[in-house]
A = this chain, B = another copy of it.
Amino acid sequence: MLISKSCVYGLRASLFLASKKNGEYISIRDMSEKLGISFHFLTKILQQLTAYGLMESYKGPNGGVRLSKPAGDIKFIEIVVAIDGDDLLNECVLNLPGCGSDTPCPLHESWSKTRESIKAMLENTSLEYLAKEGKNKNLRLSEVGNFDWE
């Protein structure tokens, strides 16, 4: 998998949040049920994103989490890097230490091009855009077929 499972869960939750009213706290329990992700596991992941500054949380009744910036200002790549780190964008495809044009492996040239296109895709996509698309076209965000953006 290009992206770890933890990261995927974080991304799906982020998209869910991005589709909500700005500033509204959404409970993790709610999200975990709608997205079909284990509540405790999702909690742990969102804690990371909160610690990273991408989300804000609020305890107590009607508490929950929300994005700390407008969804239009959050690029997909920020979530990925926050959870998986930036290895994907820097590492040698043959896992040799220090990928770069000074000590290239035989695949360096073609891989660095491909990697740039992955990076571009992650950098050019905002949560807002994806959430709007998802909402308008009713695209799925969970395993079960009956996901609803409301």
Chain A positions near chain B (C-beta within 8 angstroms): 1-3, 5, 8, 11-12, 15, 76, 87-88, 91, 93-97, 103-108, 110-111, 113-114, 117-118, 121, 125, 130-131, 133-134, 139-143, 145
Contact A121 B110 (CB under 8 A): yes
Contact A2 B96 (CB under 8 A): no
Question: With A and B bound together, what is the CA distance between A88 and B118 in angstroms?
Answer: 13
A106 to chain B, nearest CB (A): 4
Q: State which of B12, B114, B139 has its C-beta within 8 Å of the C-beta of A108.
A: B139
Contact A88 B2 (CB under 8 A): yes
A80 to chain B, nearest CB (A): 10
A12-B143 in contact given A118-B114, A121-B111 (Cβ < 8 Å):
no
